[in-house]
Structure 1
Amino acid sequence: MTIGDANSKELHVGAVTGRYVLGSRTSMLGINVFACRLRSVSPTSFVAAAPVVGRVGDEVTASFSPFGTLHGRISRHVVDGFVVDLDATEMERTALAMRIEAFRDRVWTGVADKRAERRLMPGEPRSVLITEDGMVVPCLVVDYSIAGAAVSADTHPAVGARITIGHVPGHVVRLFDVGFAVRFDAPQSQDEIEELLAAPAEWQDAVAVLKARKIDTDDPDELFALTDYGD
């Protein structure tokens, strides 16, 4: 297969998570590694849903288990993340094309989850979290169960901190390298949990460009003044 053949068959994926670093953050103290969800990949670019979208031209280094480490620059934004044009040699693109084809042909058999509650990935992973002091921050729901969720965001609340993800209140129980785990105040309905974790309807149009700041939660129209990321 040639690279041109692979590009004409861009692979759309829905269950591959990874991690990424924005180039401007690699030498910064604090939070600089985030979780992301791969939307599609080809030997020349990839699309990912992400909690921190950066700016067009920013460098991105991302790692996805089936495809390895991918490096490039943000070429444009999408509703829930960004498109990265890859900076790769011909040999690297050929190797990626082979990984894509192998992933395409792989038979998914599934793996039983040994934990008490089955963990799932939301179809639309990008949402918002609200802290106790009224800070609203875009986030990525990495996975969830009826009892809690793993979240990645441009903030690291302390263990024990109370937050709300979408419409679901809870508290932080654990920190990990790309985010934190939240335990819900009460188990949620399996049929309703994904919808409840989504950004409130009045904020959905702003969630892709929302900046962290304190807002009047009784006046969600304030969010729409923050849409300053352009294509």
Structure 2
Amino acid sequence: MTLNSAVDDNLHVGAVTGRYVLGNRSSLRGVNVFACRLRSVSPTSFVAAAPVVGKVGDVITASFGPFGTLHGRITRHVVDGFVVDVDADTSKRNELSARIDAFRDRIWTGVADKRAEKRFMPGDPRSVVILADGSVQPCLIVDYSASGAAVSAELDPAIGQTLTVGQVAGTVVRLFDVGFAVHFDNPQRGDDIEDLLAAPDEWSEAVAVLKARHIDTDEGELNDLTDYGY
């Protein structure tokens, strides 16, 4: 694929998780670095589901394993995240175009990440975290299993803290740089868990509070997501 032919040829993806920061100030774990889910990508823009959507015009630095680190600005919001125009010169855009081609080839040849088979990514990653005092925070479900979930939110909980993700109660068992791992109080049935974790209506209400806020963080290289240990 050449750059000219790829400008409007968005590759739609659903199982690529990354991380991002907003703005220009040093990031703090659990506050300014968040997980996100890539929805589509082209050499000129990308769409991502995200727990903190920022404002139109905010600077974004995002990292997705197959596509590298992408810099740009939010141009508009979508129902579960934002659209970013990629800020790159022709060389960088051609490099991204080549990465998109390689990823598309991997999809068609059936090459998959073995680790992804051990956990599941919800079709709709939007949800909310409900704290013991009844306060609600929008969050993104990074992935889940019958026993727990990895969650990204503008929240820095303590290990051992109890909370509810969607409708599932659990305990925070691990912190990592884009969020935290929750171990469910009771194992969940595979057929039911995604519906129990999802809370798109509550998410929409909760994210409206954060949408107008500006979060200044450092632009910089971001690493891939790792094992969450829930």
User: Structure 1's 97 and 200: CA in aligned 2 closer, same or farther, altered over 3 A?
Assistant: closer
The C-alpha deviation readout for 1:33-81, integer Å capped at 9, x for no partner, is 1110000000000000001100000000000110000000000000100
Pick the structure with greater CA Rg.
Answer: 1
- State whether structure 2 residue 136 is matched by structure 1 residue 146: no
Match of 1:110 among 112, 115, 119: 112
Q: Deviations over 1:101-134 (max 9, x none)?
A: 111111233354599xx31000101111111112
Q: Is the 8 A contact 2:130 2:165 kept in 1?
A: yes
Query: Cα 1:149–1:29, aligned 2, differ >3 Å: closer, same or farther?
Result: closer
The question of whether the paired residues in 2 share the 8 Å contact of 1:62 and 1:71 is answered with yes
Report the Cα distance in structure 1 between the residues aligned to 2:36 and 2:21, rounded to whole angstroms.
10
Equivalence for 2:87: 87
TM-score with structure 2 setting the length: 0.85
2:138–2:203 Cα contact (<8 Å) kept: no
More displaced 10-residue stretch of structure 1: 27-36 or 165-174: 27-36
**Which residue identity lines up with residue 26 of structure 2 in the other structure?**
S
SS of residue in 2 equivalent to 1:209? helix
- Equivalences for residues 52-67 of structure 1 within 5 A: 52-67=52-67
Deviates more, 1:27-36 or 1:186-195: 27-36
Deviations 1:168-191 (Å, cap 9, x if unpaired)? 111100101111000111011100
Counterparts in 2 of 1:1-231, with a 5 A limit? 1-24=1-24, 26-27=25-26, 29=28, 31-106=31-106, 107-113=109-115, 118-199=118-199, 201=201, 203=202, 205-206=204-205, 208-211=207-210
Percent of pairs with identical residues: 63
Contact 2:139 2:152 in 1 (8 A): yes
> 1: distance between equivalents of 2:153 and 2:200?
17
| TM-score under structure 1 length normalisation | 0.85
Which structure 2 segments of 5+ residues have no match?
A: 214-230
SS at match of 2:57: coil
- For residues 198 and 72 of structure 2, the distance between their equivalents in structure 1, rounded to whole angstroms, comes to 29
Q: Quick one: distance in 1 between partners of 2:110 and 2:162?
A: 37
Cα contact 1:6–1:42 (8 A) shared by 2: yes
RMSD: 2.0
Which SS does the other structure have where 2:103 is aligned? helix
Per-residue CA distance 1:172-222 (angstroms, 9 max, x = gap): 001011110001110111001000000175x254355344xxxxxxxxxxx
Unaligned segments of structure 1, at least 5 residues: 212-226
Provide closer, same or farther for how the CA distance between residues 38 and 87 of structure 1 changes in structure 2, counting only shifts above 3 A: same
Task: Please identify, of 4-13 and 52-61, the stretch whose mean Cα deviation from structure 2 is larger.
Answer: 4-13
What secondary structure does 2:196 align onto?
Answer: helix
* Superposed displacement of residue 161, structure 1: 0.5
| Alpha carbons 2:21, 2:62 under 8 Å: kept | yes
1:23/1:127 Cα in 2 relative to 1: closer, same or farther (>3 Å)? same
Verify the 8 A CA contact 1:166 1:200 in the aligned structure 2.
no
Q: Is the 8 Å Cα contact of residues 125 and 141 (structure 1) preserved in structure 2? A: yes
CA distance in 2, matches of 1:194, 1:163: 17
